[in-house]
Structure 1
Amino acid sequence: MSLFRRAFLPLLLGAALGAPVFAVEMPADSAKPSTALPGVSLLGEPLAMPGLARTRQLRIYLPPGYATSGKRYPVLYMHDGQNLFDHATAYAGEWKVDETLDALAREGKLEMIVVGIDNGQEKRMTELNAWDNEKIGKGEGREYTDFIVKTVKPMIDRKYRTLPGREHTAIMGSSMGGLASHYALVQYPEVFSKAGVFSPAYWTAQPAFDFVASKPVPKDARVFLLMGEKEGPQMNADVKRMAEVVKKTGHPAANTVLKIVPGAEHNEAFWAGELREALLWMFAAPGGGAKALAVSR
């Protein structure tokens, strides 16, 4: 597919559906200087994705002191790995995940491992959608989520000092990644207990509402729904509708957040600015903060 079609096909689809414009992630400008902090690295060679006949690069963030702490850490899995840590690889700005978490670690509020799964560029719109869309294509989200659950997570738990239980495992993303994160929480509640659902693109997957309604997640699961007021009428209507669906499943209000930010738009700067609050809420332990647990080596 040409670069023109890769960049503009989703724009045309968004316009046709009366929804926000989402560009496909394009290759980054290698001339831009890296902004990644020392805790960030590429995680080996790209991994094969079973059922999708392609490979995918992973990135990992380790908290300060990981090498000498002897602790085990909660883990957050995030989509669009190119955009999380480094301006040099980001499509339209980075989330500053490493800066945010280094600061939280210094403050003694939260320490964690983050695994970023790179997006598939021209495959992004289908990989992050578990449902077929006649204008976008056949959904590959089931296979993509299985890749995270059955290939990526077991490898991370083997190689790193993680807290592997569901109560310490979260998933987060924005736009199509928000949709994918909500799907993962509902599809695999035994694996994930928290989802950061930022600016979810429910407009690409209307079956998601019935899916969430039919599969209530455990009462302790935490769902952080975030939207910018300027992301469009349909996006705002959809996230409010989903919050109602979650409520009607009987999920506790204390474990659901719906935050709509006045004036906020659909971009990484918005998501980066909300990351700290979302993580502290998602990982807050009953009666205390969320911290790594010390273990013997």
Structure 2
Amino acid sequence: MKRGFKLLGIVIVSSMLFSCGQGAVKPSSLYPKNPYSIPVSEYETSYMTTTPQVDIFLPNDYKTSGKKYPVLYMHDGQNLNKWMVAENISQLVMEGLMDEIIVVGIYCRNERAFDYLPPAEGLPNQCPSGGLSEYGKFIVEDLKPYIDSHYPTLPGKEHTALLGSSFGGIATYYLTGWMPEVFGYAGVISPIFRISVDNAEALNPGLHFSKNIKMYIDGGWIENNYNWWNMIDSMRVTKLWLLQQGLADGTNLLYFEDPKGMHNEVSWADRLRNPLLFFFGKADSPLEKIEIGMSPAKIGLGDESRIYATAYYADGVRETPFPPKFVSSDQSVLAVDAQGHAKGLKPGKATVTIEYKGITAKEEVTVLGKSVSLMTVKFTVKTPEPVKSMTVKIIAKSGDDVQGGIVLNKIDGNTWSASVENKKGAWIEFSIVNESGLKGILSKDGKSTKKIVFTANYETEIKITGWK
């Protein structure tokens, strides 16, 4: 399906909230509860040391319907149920948005990274690479001919899709570029392009995507246990390269950055609607609205944030306009570049605007008077005997200078207090000095230094047991 320009509105004012996904997927009624496991002996390959297990989801009535079906090949096929594949397809079919398809799930082997990655230099030891070519030959020369000869498929590339996540996203990207005569659709989910950016850029010139290909690329902003922003940046670089090759938004490419997306099957199942309808949808779907969001959602003086836009189509498909063209109404308050990098420069309000496919979205942003990342630590200092004065001497620190310095306020001769602000994650190490220049002993082992980490707002007490 082409992502069209049919407009249902002109100006959309958004609510600065993350998109909330598609909600619960209905149970499958058009497919069996579990896929059928094809005996390995039926499609054994000589290209790999062991042949992967393959599961297949077939429509319940495939033997009697008289229909032939498009085929979606998926890597990590052991996770078809976790992706809620049958449920997602059944729901879209019942909504009248697509027809049934056949889904072939190829299990990963223990050598997953080797099978899914092209040759690459400088990868971690746990990421051997270079087996993707042989894995691709297995799919194209052994598995696909078996599937086409034993099940009612539409075998042409215009009916054949490949989809995978993580390393499987990389495998999909390269195999469709190496074999454009076989695959007409590529689902590139949470791809680890960043595993070796230099190698990825070096390999791109060897890829030849069909002029009629449909490629879906997505990734999450909360890819746990990964350097998530490197993923987004590498996706953006890849999309720009694809645009330079002549692929077009809506026709060849659908691109989505999920602000709440994580690196797991739950997130991928939630986003599966996007590639299914882009590949197999029955008709064009109009763009309904655009929402602007920001992460972090609040911004103060000196803070930085990322502004993003999400386009929503009538069929529930979500898209991220990229490259965007954000504009701030007052760059002296909120500096925003075209890519959405924002910085609060002074307290006040500014309106961020984006126009995409004929729809304009606006969002008013308030820059607060101080950084929202400032943490406050309040501490009380108690001395064994009254002192006339005390000062705090900072010995080491991380991040910015302590906001406003540290001023000790006298409560009585033996008790003093202070309130310190700094950005979250920063720390300071200091000693406390009396009017005679002596340092306070702050621990049982005689240390005269104290470290405060600004992890949250909290209160603490410091007891001085003597001076040295």
Match of 1:103 among 83, 86, 91: 91
Question: What do residues 72-131 of structure 1 show as CA deviations (whole Å, max 9, x unaligned)?
Answer: 00000000011112xxxxxxxx101011122223333221000000001x3011110122
TM-score normalised by L of structure 1: 0.77
**Shift in alpha-carbon separation, 1:146–1:205, aligned structure 2, 3 A:** farther
Paired AA for residue 279 in structure 2: M
Distance (Å, rounded) in 1 between the aligned partners of 2:32 and 2:88: 11
Structure 1 stretch displaced more, 205-214 or 104-113: 205-214
Q: Which residue of 1 aligns with 2:261?
A: 264
Shift in Å, 1:198: 0.2
Shift in Å, 1:248: 1.0
Q: Which residue of 2 aligns with 1:185?
A: 176
Asked if the contact 2:174–2:207 (Cα under 8 Å) also holds between the matched residues in 1, the reply is no
Match of 1:169 among 160, 165, 183: 160
1:240 aligns with 2:223: no
Match of 1:42 among 30, 34, 37: 37
Question: What do residues 196-222 of structure 1 show as CA deviations (whole Å, max 9, x unaligned)?
Answer: 100001123432334334434122101
Q: What are the ranges of 5 or more consecutive residues in structure 2 without an aligned counterpart? A: 1-30, 286-468
Match of 1:130 among 114, 118, 128: 118
1:222 aligns with 2:211: no
**Shift in alpha-carbon separation, 1:214–1:141, aligned structure 2, 3 A:** closer
| Matched positions, count | 244
Give the % identical residues: 36
TM-score normalised by L of structure 2: 0.50
Question: What do residues 123-153 of structure 1 show as CA deviations (whole Å, max 9, x unaligned)?
Answer: 0111101223443224101100111111110
Distance (Å, rounded) in 1 between the aligned partners of 2:284 and 2:256: 23
Distance (Å, rounded) in 1 between the aligned partners of 2:278 and 2:190: 17
- Residue correspondence of structure 1 range 65-84 to structure 2 within 5 A: 65-84=61-80
Distance (Å, rounded) in 2 between the aligned partners of 1:228 and 1:278: 15
More helix by share: 1
- Tell me the secondary structure at the aligned position of residue 247 of structure 2: coil
Max Rg structure: 2
Distance (Å, rounded) in 2 between the aligned partners of 1:62 and 1:260: 31
1:147 aligns with 2:138: yes
Shift in Å, 1:63: 1.6
- Tell me the secondary structure at the aligned position of residue 185 of structure 1: helix
Q: What's the C-alpha RMSD, in Å, of the aligned pairs?
A: 1.9
1:249 aligns with 2:245: yes
Asked if the contact 2:72–2:103 (Cα under 8 Å) also holds between the matched residues in 1, the reply is yes
Distance (Å, rounded) in 1 between the aligned partners of 2:117 and 2:266: 24
**Shift in alpha-carbon separation, 1:37–1:286, aligned structure 2, 3 A:** closer
Shift in Å, 1:51: 2.7
Q: What are the ranges of 5 or more consecutive residues in structure 1 without an aligned counterpart? A: 1-35, 86-93, 289-297
Which structure is higher in RCO with an 8 Å CA cutoff and minimum separation 6? Answer: 1
